Amino acid sequence: MDPKENFILPQFPLSLVAFPGEKVNLHIFEPRYKQLINDCWSNGTHFGIAPFHKGQLIFFGTEMKVTAISKVYEDGKMDIKTEGVRVYQIHNFEKVHHPKLYAAASVSHLIDDEQSDPTTINRLLKLLEEVFELLKIDLPISRFRNDFTSYKIAHHVGLNMEEKIRLLTIRAESQRLKFIEDHLNQFIPALKKAEELKERASLNGHFKNLQSPDF
């Protein structure tokens, strides 16, 4: 399929941002989404997660594939595993795609063939390592080196919902990497300041064992 070609993709709007390559576990309980997942699983088709934020649907999202149905309950609810495939843009959204119960949209994939710059990757991973040290996160940086993309670290750099949505809409990898690097260069000093304030607060109300200088 031509990446520019419009096609109909079932929609599962959620208050989250999924990125390509990301694994998302979902508990499915609404009738319309039970139907959606059953259709996708039976037909080997995909669905889209478009962020729903502050009462508005964002007209960008990530195409998802169902990788496993972990559990099906007696009432038809299910626990599923999904994985992000690629980003799309919505051109026309239908709240109900008759005769189905669920929503669907006319979408097109966004072309993004740009490769990551190794120097920029190393710089970003060093910043990410510093974040992990400050937050005491025991996660090896080496796990992000293989098949590195900006999407792979997007949920580990302290982005808020608006920033994640912004990242989703940026089309060039170099621009996404710059966006994350600029964010980290502001985020890390804020973390250090918060840690310093925390340390100061922990001293208040405690007996201090300080040695007087020898004049």
* DSSP annotation string for 18-29: --TT-EEEEEE-
Residue 165 lies in a domain: yes
DSSP structural state of residue 134: H
Residue found by looking up tokens 């940086």 in the block: 141
Name the domain boundary from 61, 78, 109.
109
Residue 211 lies in a domain: no
Residue 208 lies in a domain: no
| Domain residue limits at 122 | 118-201
Name the domain boundary from 67, 89, 109.
109
What pLDDT shows up at residue 60? 97
- Statement to judge: residues 143 and 90 lie in one domain: no
Residues lower than pLDDT 70 in the chain: 1-4, 113, 200-215
- Statement to judge: residues 94 and 128 lie in one domain: no
- Statement to judge: residues 86 and 128 lie in one domain: no
- Statement to judge: residues 105 and 128 lie in one domain: no
What pLDDT shows up at residue 139? 87
- Statement to judge: residues 166 and 100 lie in one domain: no
Residue 213 lies in a domain: no
Nearest to 163 by CA among 141, 184, 149, 139: 184
Q: Convert 47-84 to b/e letters by CB count within 10 Å (16 or more is b).
A: bbbbbebeeebbbbbbbbebeeeeeeeeeeebebebbb
Task: Check if the beta carbon of residue 61 is closer than 8 Å to that of residue 52.
Answer: no
Residue 86 lies in a domain: yes
Residue 62 lies in a domain: yes
- Statement to judge: residues 158 and 132 lie in one domain: yes
What pLDDT shows up at residue 5? 79
What pLDDT shows up at residue 208? 47
- Statement to judge: residues 102 and 12 lie in one domain: yes
Task: Check if the beta carbon of residue 79 is closer than 8 Å to that of residue 25.
Answer: yes
Residue 78, domain CATH:
2.30.130.40
Element (H, E) at 47: strand 47-49
Residue 68 lies in a domain: yes
Tokens of 21: 């390559």
Q: Distance (Å, rounded) from C-alpha 129 to C-alpha 139?
A: 9
Supply the pTM of this predicted model. Answer: 0.85
- Statement to judge: residues 129 and 193 lie in one domain: yes
Residue 210 lies in a domain: no
Name the domain boundary from 109, 144, 162.
109
Structural domain total, the chain: 2
- Statement to judge: residues 18 and 65 lie in one domain: yes
CA end-to-end distance (rounded Å), the chain: 80
Radius of gyration of the chain (CA): 22
